[in-house]
Amino acid sequence: MTFAEITQRIGAAFPDGVEVVEDTLLDPAVRVRADSAHAVCRFLRDDPDLYMDSLRVITAVDRPPDAIDVVWHLLSMRHRHTLVLKARVPRDAADIATVSDIWASANWFEREQYDLMGVNFTGHPNLRRLMMPVDWVGHPLRKDYERPASYHGIPTSRSDVTPVTHAEIPQHLPKAETTDGLMRLNMGPHHPATHGVLNFLLETDGEIVRHAEPDVGYLHRGIEKIAEMNTYAGTMPYTDRVDYLGGMFTNQGWAIACERLLGIEVPRRAEFCRIIACELNRIASHLVGTGSMAMDLGAYTPFIHWLRERESINDLMERICGARLTYTYMRIGGVARDIDAATLEQTLKWLDHFEPICAEFDRLITGNEIFVHRLANVAVLTKEDAMSFSIVGPNLRASGVKWDLRRDEPYSIYPELDFEVPVGLGWRGTVGDSYDRLIVRLFEIRECIKILRQAIAMIPDGEIRAKVPRILKPAANEAYGRVEAPRGEAGFYVTSDGTDKPWRVRIRTGCFTAMPVIEHLSPGLMIADIVALIGSLDVIAPEVDR
């Protein structure tokens, strides 16, 4: 359905709910009244022709002096249409009904927007701060936010370098010590199996976990706020650090969002360069993801074998862009450097070398009985739960939903390439268990090899960067640029206000929505299964916290 039809439907169902129809935006949006937003969302989700089954991201955009916009990006995978829904709330009484009873992922989205922008979502079951400590004062993403001089005695800026002792910083967990015989354990933030600085508050009955609450925010660097202070081109290096294992993808997501805003068309050779770099990066990321999953389960050798292969990819990346991990290869309008023919030839040689090594990995570990028994039927994520929690990427595909942005919302030159989208079939257990998530990633590596071969064969000559003005000042508009990163959808919702700095940047990552799934699936699992679950979801801390 087109945007006009959708808005017509909404207008028909809610005659005085619709305030403004903003169809001049790049992603047309409809603004509804704040008090009918919840009903509209429910209507959008339940109506069979609209069926917005996936909530992509919730953003709160500061509109001084007196309003805050709450923006829902909705997607219907069944009907393949999207909608941007907005509601405006007054700044000093920013109350709006929660939609966490409609989409489970809204729970964490709303907590973060409450934390950072101060929107009060009424009816939310657990509206606590997510990124900032529980006793932080202020909402950092607001435009009039003033950073406190110190926090519990720790100075917040370098000008004051007097060392002080700081008082006890309170934990996120509000509950007191349990008296019902459950053991309280802190899994993290220093833990080899949590894939970064993540903390899980476990309540266990012996070995079996009764509740596992993820406690994030240890790696929150405020990239969204930093992006508001930098120019559009200057934010590119920061996007690498959002997902350091998939730097090319976040680069590309940011570039796509900015290119949409500026109306720039990327030359064909640049698109091919981008795809080659991205697919190499996807292989590298999946190598680390599957390898560390094996290592968490006790098989150290396959991980080292995968790292050996990843070294060659790092060397290829070094030839392409000069860096091994944080690439900053993309530019707005193209790429930074050209990929020369020698590098392409090396890549082909490496692909010839690497392809049989996937089979070697399978011989070593994938079919191993112990490995299968550790992963099969463990932490099964059903299709409905995956959709409701806005899971994306290989996790979603492993639960049986064949949704890949490269195929279903194509961008760049993916429509010209021929590749399969692997879906979880319950190979050794049930659909959506941890083993499926592993196998989907292993298949995706093979598909990447296919894509790379095609792209290298098809790459044309030409420019690698479009002609772009030195100072990028897009018109006041909004755009959502998304790519299929190894961990799912990396989306950048950029609001520009006509100056050379963005007004609001919202980064949507796949790992963020994977975290509440851990809480949802944990009751009844054993601690060893929690480790398998975290590894199979391929969670990375910087993506969660940004």
E strand or H helix at 478, and its extent?
A: strand 477-485
Work out whether 175 is an interface residue with another protein (CB under 8 A).
no
Q: Helix and strand tally (H, E) in the chain?
A: 17, 17
Nearest residue (CB) to another protein, 167 versus 183: 183
Q: Closest approach of Cβ 280 to another protein, in Å?
A: 15
Work out whether 305 is an interface residue with another protein (CB under 8 A).
yes
Work out whether 350 is an interface residue with another protein (CB under 8 A).
yes
Q: Closest approach of Cβ 200 to another protein, in Å?
A: 12
Nearest residue (CB) to another protein, 386 versus 438: 438
Q: How many CB atoms lie within 10 A of CB 21?
A: 16
Work out whether 365 is an interface residue with another protein (CB under 8 A).
yes
CB 401 within 8 A of CB 387: yes
Tell me the window of 42-50, 225-233, 348-356, 468-476 that interacts with another protein (CB under 8 A). Answer: 348-356
Cα–Cα distance list, 242 to 245, 324, 516 (Å):
9, 16, 19
Q: Three-class SS of residue 293?
A: helix
Work out whether 311 is an interface residue with another protein (CB under 8 A).
yes
* Bridge pairing between strands 334-335 and 81-90: unpaired
Give the alpha-carbon dihedral of 289, 537, 235, 215, to 10 degrees: -120
**Among 58, 106, 297, 511, contact with another protein (rule: CB under 8 A):** 297
Q: Dump strand ranges (E) for 162-305.
A: 183-187, 199-205, 208-215
Work out whether 313 is an interface residue with another protein (CB under 8 A).
no
Work out whether 442 is an interface residue with another protein (CB under 8 A).
no
CB 464 within 8 A of CB 335: yes
Q: Closest approach of Cβ 192 to another protein, in Å?
A: 5
Q: Closest approach of Cβ 167 to another protein, in Å?
A: 19
Nearest residue (CB) to another protein, 354 versus 443: 354
Place of tokens 């060659």: 312
CB 61 within 8 A of CB 39: no
Nearest residue (CB) to another protein, 206 versus 462: 206
Nearest residue (CB) to another protein, 152 versus 184: 184
Q: How many CB atoms lie within 10 A of CB 444?
A: 26
Q: Closest approach of Cβ 421 to another protein, in Å?
A: 28
Work out whether 368 is an interface residue with another protein (CB under 8 A).
yes
Q: Three-class SS of residue 260?
A: helix
Work out whether 308 is an interface residue with another protein (CB under 8 A).
yes
Tokens of 488: 């799912």
Q: How many residues bind another protein (CB under 8 A)?
A: 43
Q: Three-class SS of residue 439?
A: helix
Nearest residue (CB) to another protein, 357 versus 471: 357
Work out whether 185 is an interface residue with another protein (CB under 8 A).
yes
Tell me the window of 72-80, 289-297, 379-387, 486-494 that interacts with another protein (CB under 8 A). Answer: 289-297
Q: Which parts of 370-429 interact with another protein (CB under 8 A)?
A: 370-371, 373-374
Work out whether 304 is an interface residue with another protein (CB under 8 A).
yes
Work out whether 72 is an interface residue with another protein (CB under 8 A).
no
Q: Nearest Cα to 286, choosing from 508, 451, 448, 509?
A: 448
Given its phi and psi angles, is residue 377 left (phi above 0), alpha (psi -120 to 50 degrees) or beta?
Answer: left
According to DSSP, the residues that pair with 505 across neighbouring strands are 494
Distance of alpha carbon 82 from alpha carbon 2, whole angstroms: 9
Nearest residue (CB) to another protein, 359 versus 458: 359
Nearest residue (CB) to another protein, 193 versus 455: 193
Interface ranges with another protein (CB under 8 A): 183-185, 190-193, 207, 294-301, 304-305, 308, 311-312, 315, 349-350, 352-353, 356-357, 359-360, 363-365, 368, 370-371, 373-374, 526-529, 531
